[in-house]
Protein backbone atom coordinates (compact mmCIF):
# COMPACT_ATOMS: atom_id res chain seq x y z
CA UNK A 1 0.00 0.00 0.00
CA UNK A 2 2.83 2.37 0.89
CA UNK A 3 4.59 1.56 -2.38
CA UNK A 4 1.40 2.24 -4.32
CA UNK A 5 0.91 5.54 -2.50
CA UNK A 6 4.49 6.56 -3.14
CA UNK A 7 4.19 5.65 -6.81
CA UNK A 8 0.98 7.65 -7.07
CA UNK A 9 2.62 10.71 -5.52
CA UNK A 10 5.59 10.44 -7.88
CA UNK A 11 3.27 10.18 -10.88
CA UNK A 12 1.20 13.13 -9.63
CA UNK A 13 4.35 15.21 -9.20
CA UNK A 14 5.52 14.32 -12.70
CA UNK A 15 2.12 15.18 -14.21
CA UNK A 16 1.99 18.46 -12.29
CA UNK A 17 5.46 19.43 -13.49
CA UNK A 18 4.54 18.69 -17.11
CA UNK A 19 1.26 20.59 -16.81
CA UNK A 20 3.00 23.62 -15.30
CA UNK A 21 5.53 23.50 -18.14
CA UNK A 22 2.71 23.47 -20.68
CA UNK A 23 1.05 26.42 -18.94
CA UNK A 24 4.32 28.36 -18.91
CA UNK A 25 4.94 27.78 -22.63
CA UNK A 26 1.32 28.64 -23.44
CA UNK A 27 1.42 31.95 -21.57
CA UNK A 28 4.73 32.74 -23.28
CA UNK A 29 3.18 32.00 -26.67
CA UNK A 30 0.20 34.23 -25.90
CA UNK A 31 2.44 37.21 -25.16
CA UNK A 32 5.08 36.83 -27.86
CA UNK A 33 4.80 36.86 -31.69
CA UNK A 34 4.10 35.39 -34.13
CA UNK A 35 0.36 35.44 -33.41
CA UNK A 36 -1.84 32.94 -35.26
CA UNK A 37 -4.84 35.24 -35.66
CA UNK A 38 -6.64 33.22 -38.32
CA UNK A 39 -6.41 29.98 -36.34
CA UNK A 40 -7.59 31.78 -33.22
CA UNK A 41 -10.67 33.14 -35.02
CA UNK A 42 -11.47 29.68 -36.40
CA UNK A 43 -11.19 28.16 -32.93
CA UNK A 44 -13.37 30.92 -31.45
CA UNK A 45 -16.05 30.11 -34.02
CA UNK A 46 -15.81 26.41 -33.17
CA UNK A 47 -15.99 27.00 -29.42
CA UNK A 48 -18.44 29.89 -29.13
CA UNK A 49 -20.73 29.89 -32.12
CA UNK A 50 -21.18 26.14 -32.30
CA UNK A 51 -21.74 25.79 -28.54
CA UNK A 52 -24.11 28.66 -27.83
CA UNK A 53 -27.32 26.82 -28.80
CA UNK A 54 -26.85 23.83 -26.51
CA UNK A 55 -25.75 26.14 -23.67
CA UNK A 56 -28.86 28.31 -24.04
CA UNK A 57 -31.13 25.25 -24.02
CA UNK A 58 -29.52 23.73 -20.93
CA UNK A 59 -29.32 26.91 -18.84
CA UNK A 60 -32.95 27.68 -19.71
CA UNK A 61 -34.10 24.41 -18.16
CA UNK A 62 -31.73 25.00 -15.24
CA UNK A 63 -33.45 28.34 -14.59
CA UNK A 64 -36.88 26.70 -14.68
CA UNK A 65 -35.83 24.02 -12.19
CA UNK A 66 -34.21 26.62 -9.92
CA UNK A 67 -37.37 28.72 -9.68
CA UNK A 68 -39.73 25.78 -9.21
CA UNK A 69 -37.61 24.04 -6.57
CA UNK A 70 -36.87 27.28 -4.69
CA UNK A 71 -40.57 28.15 -4.58
CA UNK A 72 -41.53 24.66 -3.41
CA UNK A 73 -39.06 24.60 -0.53
CA UNK A 74 -39.63 28.19 0.57
CA UNK A 75 -43.36 27.53 0.82
CA UNK A 76 -42.59 24.57 3.08
CA UNK A 77 -40.16 26.45 5.31
CA UNK A 78 -41.57 29.99 5.56
CA UNK A 79 -44.93 29.64 3.73
CA UNK A 80 -43.92 32.45 1.38
CA UNK A 81 -42.06 32.46 -1.93
CA UNK A 82 -41.75 36.22 -2.46
CA UNK A 83 -37.96 36.02 -1.99
CA UNK A 84 -37.52 33.39 -4.70
CA UNK A 85 -36.64 35.85 -7.53
CA UNK A 86 -33.86 37.45 -5.50
CA UNK A 87 -32.36 34.19 -4.28
CA UNK A 88 -32.65 32.62 -7.73
CA UNK A 89 -30.90 35.59 -9.37
CA UNK A 90 -28.08 35.38 -6.84
CA UNK A 91 -27.67 31.63 -7.38
CA UNK A 92 -27.72 32.02 -11.15
CA UNK A 93 -25.19 34.85 -11.36
CA UNK A 94 -22.81 33.63 -8.69
CA UNK A 95 -22.81 29.91 -9.46
CA UNK A 96 -25.26 28.27 -11.82
CA UNK A 97 -24.83 30.08 -15.14
CA UNK A 98 -21.04 30.05 -15.40
CA UNK A 99 -20.51 26.55 -13.98
CA UNK A 100 -23.17 24.88 -16.14
CA UNK A 101 -21.77 26.67 -19.19
CA UNK A 102 -18.22 25.55 -18.39
CA UNK A 103 -19.16 21.91 -17.80
CA UNK A 104 -21.09 21.83 -21.07
CA UNK A 105 -18.15 23.39 -22.86
CA UNK A 106 -15.86 20.78 -21.30
CA UNK A 107 -17.95 17.88 -22.54
CA UNK A 108 -18.22 19.28 -26.05
CA UNK A 109 -15.09 21.32 -26.76
CA UNK A 110 -12.65 19.74 -24.30
CA UNK A 111 -13.38 16.23 -25.53
CA UNK A 112 -13.03 17.37 -29.13
CA UNK A 113 -9.68 19.06 -28.53
CA UNK A 114 -8.29 16.08 -26.62
CA UNK A 115 -9.37 13.66 -29.37
CA UNK A 116 -7.96 15.92 -32.09
CA UNK A 117 -4.60 16.45 -30.41
CA UNK A 118 -4.42 12.79 -29.41
CA UNK A 119 -4.97 11.74 -33.03
CA UNK A 120 -2.25 14.18 -34.11
CA UNK A 121 0.05 12.58 -31.55
CA UNK A 122 -0.44 8.95 -32.61
CA UNK A 123 -0.28 9.80 -36.33
CA UNK A 124 3.06 11.59 -35.71
CA UNK A 125 1.81 14.97 -36.91
CA UNK A 126 3.23 16.59 -33.77
CA UNK A 127 6.63 15.04 -34.49
CA UNK A 128 6.36 16.39 -38.04
CA UNK A 129 5.78 19.89 -36.66
CA UNK A 130 8.93 19.60 -34.56
CA UNK A 131 10.94 18.43 -37.58
CA UNK A 132 9.72 21.51 -39.46
CA UNK A 133 10.95 23.73 -36.64
CA UNK A 134 7.46 24.60 -35.40
CA UNK A 135 6.63 24.68 -31.70
CA UNK A 136 3.61 22.38 -31.11
CA UNK A 137 2.49 24.46 -28.14
CA UNK A 138 2.47 27.70 -30.13
CA UNK A 139 0.95 25.99 -33.18
CA UNK A 140 -1.73 23.92 -31.41
CA UNK A 141 -2.35 25.11 -27.86
CA UNK A 142 -2.04 28.90 -28.01
CA UNK A 143 -4.82 29.59 -30.59
CA UNK A 144 -7.18 27.29 -28.71
CA UNK A 145 -6.26 28.84 -25.39
CA UNK A 146 -6.90 32.43 -26.51
CA UNK A 147 -10.13 31.47 -28.28
CA UNK A 148 -11.37 29.46 -25.29
CA UNK A 149 -10.70 32.28 -22.82
CA UNK A 150 -12.57 34.80 -25.00
CA UNK A 151 -15.40 32.33 -25.72
CA UNK A 152 -15.68 31.41 -22.05
CA UNK A 153 -16.18 35.05 -21.09
CA UNK A 154 -18.75 35.71 -23.83
CA UNK A 155 -20.66 32.47 -23.27
CA UNK A 156 -20.75 33.03 -19.50
CA UNK A 157 -22.39 36.45 -20.01
CA UNK A 158 -24.88 34.99 -22.50
CA UNK A 159 -25.65 31.99 -20.28
CA UNK A 160 -26.31 34.14 -17.23
CA UNK A 161 -28.50 36.64 -19.08
CA UNK A 162 -30.54 33.87 -20.72
CA UNK A 163 -30.82 32.07 -17.40
CA UNK A 164 -32.11 35.24 -15.72
CA UNK A 165 -34.57 35.87 -18.54
CA UNK A 166 -36.11 32.40 -18.27
CA UNK A 167 -36.13 32.67 -14.48
CA UNK A 168 -38.12 35.89 -14.90
CA UNK A 169 -40.55 34.18 -17.29
CA UNK A 170 -41.11 31.25 -14.93
CA UNK A 171 -41.54 33.60 -11.97
CA UNK A 172 -44.23 35.45 -13.91
CA UNK A 173 -46.09 32.29 -14.90
CA UNK A 174 -45.49 30.15 -11.81
CA UNK A 175 -45.31 32.65 -8.95
CA UNK A 176 -47.60 35.34 -10.33
CA UNK A 177 -44.80 37.88 -10.18
CA UNK A 178 -44.37 40.70 -12.69
CA UNK A 179 -41.22 41.56 -14.62
CA UNK A 180 -40.84 44.73 -12.56
CA UNK A 181 -41.18 42.84 -9.28
CA UNK A 182 -38.58 40.30 -10.40
CA UNK A 183 -36.10 43.03 -11.37
CA UNK A 184 -36.71 44.87 -8.09
CA UNK A 185 -36.12 41.70 -6.08
CA UNK A 186 -33.06 40.87 -8.14
CA UNK A 187 -31.53 44.31 -7.57
CA UNK A 188 -31.88 43.80 -3.83
CA UNK A 189 -29.66 40.69 -3.97
CA UNK A 190 -27.23 41.17 -6.88
CA UNK A 191 -25.60 43.95 -8.85
CA UNK A 192 -23.69 44.53 -12.07
CA UNK A 193 -20.47 43.35 -10.43
CA UNK A 194 -21.98 39.88 -10.11
CA UNK A 195 -22.32 39.71 -13.90
CA UNK A 196 -18.71 40.87 -14.26
CA UNK A 197 -17.52 38.21 -11.81
CA UNK A 198 -19.55 35.61 -13.73
CA UNK A 199 -17.74 36.65 -16.91
CA UNK A 200 -14.37 36.38 -15.17
CA UNK A 201 -15.28 32.90 -13.97
CA UNK A 202 -16.20 31.95 -17.52
CA UNK A 203 -12.84 33.20 -18.83
CA UNK A 204 -10.91 31.25 -16.17
CA UNK A 205 -12.92 28.09 -16.84
CA UNK A 206 -12.34 28.61 -20.55
CA UNK A 207 -8.60 28.80 -19.95
CA UNK A 208 -8.59 25.46 -18.14
CA UNK A 209 -10.30 23.49 -20.92
CA UNK A 210 -7.64 23.64 -23.69
CA UNK A 211 -4.77 23.29 -21.22
CA UNK A 212 -6.00 19.99 -19.80
CA UNK A 213 -7.29 18.75 -23.17
CA UNK A 214 -3.99 19.41 -24.95
CA UNK A 215 -2.01 18.05 -21.99
CA UNK A 216 -3.76 14.69 -22.19
CA UNK A 217 -3.72 14.82 -25.99
CA UNK A 218 0.07 15.21 -26.00
CA UNK A 219 0.33 12.19 -23.68
CA UNK A 220 -2.02 10.04 -25.78
CA UNK A 221 -0.97 6.42 -26.29
CA UNK A 222 -1.19 4.65 -29.64
CA UNK A 223 -4.45 3.17 -30.85
CA UNK A 224 -8.13 4.00 -30.64
CA UNK A 225 -8.16 2.98 -26.98
CA UNK A 226 -5.43 5.53 -26.24
CA UNK A 227 -7.42 8.34 -27.87
CA UNK A 228 -10.55 7.35 -25.95
CA UNK A 229 -8.65 7.21 -22.66
CA UNK A 230 -7.02 10.59 -23.27
CA UNK A 231 -10.43 12.11 -24.05
CA UNK A 232 -12.04 10.63 -20.95
CA UNK A 233 -9.19 11.70 -18.68
CA UNK A 234 -9.23 15.24 -20.05
CA UNK A 235 -12.98 15.66 -19.47
CA UNK A 236 -12.79 14.26 -15.94
CA UNK A 237 -9.71 16.31 -14.96
CA UNK A 238 -11.12 19.51 -16.47
CA UNK A 239 -14.47 19.05 -14.71
CA UNK A 240 -12.73 18.57 -11.35
CA UNK A 241 -10.51 21.60 -11.99
CA UNK A 242 -13.56 23.73 -12.82
CA UNK A 243 -15.32 22.75 -9.59
CA UNK A 244 -12.20 23.49 -7.53
CA UNK A 245 -11.59 26.82 -9.29
CA UNK A 246 -15.23 27.75 -8.79
CA UNK A 247 -14.77 27.33 -5.04
CA UNK A 248 -11.56 29.39 -5.07
CA UNK A 249 -13.02 32.21 -7.16
CA UNK A 250 -16.25 32.29 -5.15
CA UNK A 251 -14.23 32.54 -1.96
CA UNK A 252 -12.11 35.39 -3.37
CA UNK A 253 -15.11 37.26 -4.81
CA UNK A 254 -16.97 36.97 -1.49
CA UNK A 255 -14.62 39.65 -0.14
CA UNK A 256 -15.53 42.02 -2.99
CA UNK A 257 -19.33 42.11 -2.72
Please state the rounded mean pLDDT for residues 214-229: 87
Give the burial class of 68: count Cβ atoms within 10 A of its Cβ; 0-12 exposed, 13-18 middle, 19 or more buried: middle
Annotate 188-241 with DSSP letters as a single string: HH--HHHHHHHHHHHHHHHHHHHHHHHHHHHTPPSSHHHHHHHHHHHHHHHHHH
**Residue 4 banded pLDDT, cuts 50, 70, 90:** low
How high is the pLDDT of residue 231?
92
pLDDT of 182-208, one tens digit each?
Answer: 788 788 788 889 899 999 999 999 999
Q: Per 3-state DSSP, what percentage of the chain is helix, strand, and coil (rounded to 5)?
A: 85, 0, 15
Q: Across the chain, what does the average pLDDT equal?
A: 86
pLDDT of 9-58, one tens digit each?
Answer: 666 677 778 888 888 988 888 888 888 889 999 999 999 888 899 999 99
How high is the pLDDT of residue 8?
56
How high is the pLDDT of residue 3?
55
How high is the pLDDT of residue 200?
94
How high is the pLDDT of residue 5?
57
pLDDT of 40-52, one tens digit each?
Answer: 999 999 998 888 9
Q: What is the dihedral of CA 222, 236, 144, 48, to 10 degrees?
A: 130
How high is the pLDDT of residue 203?
95
Amino acid sequence: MIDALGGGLITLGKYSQELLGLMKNTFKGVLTPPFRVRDTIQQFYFIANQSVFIIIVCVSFAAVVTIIESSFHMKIVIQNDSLVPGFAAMLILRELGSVVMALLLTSRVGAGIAAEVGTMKITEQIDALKMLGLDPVRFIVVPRFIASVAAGFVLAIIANLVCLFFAMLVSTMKLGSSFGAFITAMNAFVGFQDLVFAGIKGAVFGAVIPLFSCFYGFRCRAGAEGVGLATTNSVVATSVAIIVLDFVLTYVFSYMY
